Structure 1
């Protein structure tokens, strides 16, 4: 799929502060409020952290991109609050709508100086963007952590960051991937990628000065 193999050395962040606990949290063995590093998120309480942690895949992707290009990763809840103010998240009672791609891209441009565009992308376009030095936030089904498993009943609902592309696989950082299996630099074979992918994403590029 990619004309040449490229994998960018992007730092990895999970959407939970303790990346090693992601499997246990997702499988219900550990409550997110019990994450011992919850305070590093910027949340005021473990309960606030737990509520947000299930909704921070897009924020985790942004933290990775900011650390890659700016050398900093602001606290997750700080970024989440800014995304709410920018209209990229919308609180709806006890729920949350988002991450909404177009206002998020505007926020990434205005707040962080990144090149950012929300658009539909064919798989070959994703590869081209990555080979050209950009990172791509992609809307996929969260079960992409098991690309060899059953096809999901729907596409989208979760965001991962494309950090590399080869002839055989898309290389992603998955904020809800399992430690040692599908978190950082996870290879998703191109034939397996389609059933998970919603066909849209947010292309992120470096600050203009770089």
Structure 2
């Protein structure tokens, strides 16, 4: 396999990537993120709610910056996805999503990218997709950030596949740690199956 790495800009699902460990372990509320206003949220409380649910929006921001040079505010993107049916918000605050098919339709219609929801999407397909100029939003368990030896399940979190080599898949992880698991994090192929739910959204530019 010829190594491939797309130079995709990185976005965390929190506006201050260096604070992710403190936010995840509960020593800092997301609403205390000093950069919360950049998210497009109307208040720290709105940011607190959405920031835990913005992994898909962070992946979309990365793709949009890579192809179009824009990184729209993530809460604004989330509100658009809510209107498009890619999220469903219940009266008690529960949020269903990101729902892949309406999200792919939204990305195509709103942003002019090729977008295909794929289930299944085999890990073995990823190198060829990346080599063809595509990126892939993948459903993985969030403990992929530490390569947890025994994650409780697959899926539940979204990361962006940005490269591959013989031994590893390279991902941008919106909830990764600043110690090396945020951008161009190397996930051994042998470990990927513990976390990967076998589904995702393939993104591309029609120029590819």
TM-score using structure 2 length: 0.97
Q: Deviation per CA, 1:21-74, whole angstroms, max 9, x where unpaired? A: 011100111100000000000101000001000000000000000000000000
Aligned to 1:114: 113
Q: Deviation per CA, 1:101-130, whole angstroms, max 9, x where unpaired? A: 000000000000000000121111012111
- Cα root mean square deviation, aligned: 0.8
Structure 2 SS opposite 1:138: strand
Runs of 4 or more above 3 Å deviation: none
Shift of residue 181, structure 1, vs aligned partner: 2.1
Q: Distance in 2 between matches of 1:104 and 1:209?
A: 21
Aligned to 2:55: 57
1:86 to 84, 87, 92: 84
1:151–1:196 CA contact under 8 A, matched in 2 = no
Shift of residue 209, structure 1, vs aligned partner: 4.6
List runs of 5+ in structure 2 lacking aligned partners.
none
Aligned to 1:33: 31
Structure 2 SS opposite 1:12: coil
2:46 to 37, 45, 48: 48
List runs of 5+ in structure 1 lacking aligned partners.
none
Aligned to 2:203: 204
Q: Distance in 2 between matches of 1:146 and 1:209?
A: 36
Aligned to 2:178: 179
Aligned to 1:123: 123
Structure 2 SS opposite 1:118: strand
Structure 1 SS opposite 2:12: coil
1:41–1:77 CA contact under 8 A, matched in 2 = yes
Q: Distance in 1 between matches of 2:94 and 2:14?
A: 18
Structure 1 SS opposite 2:95: strand
Q: Distance in 1 between matches of 2:207 and 2:112?
A: 9
Structure 2 SS opposite 1:188: strand
- The yes-or-no answer on 1:160 pairing with 2:159 is yes
Which region of structure 1 is more displaced relative to structure 2, 41-50 or 122-131? Answer: 122-131
Q: Distance in 1 between matches of 2:30 and 2:152?
A: 26
User: Number of aligned pairs?
Assistant: 206
1:115–1:204 CA contact under 8 A, matched in 2 = yes
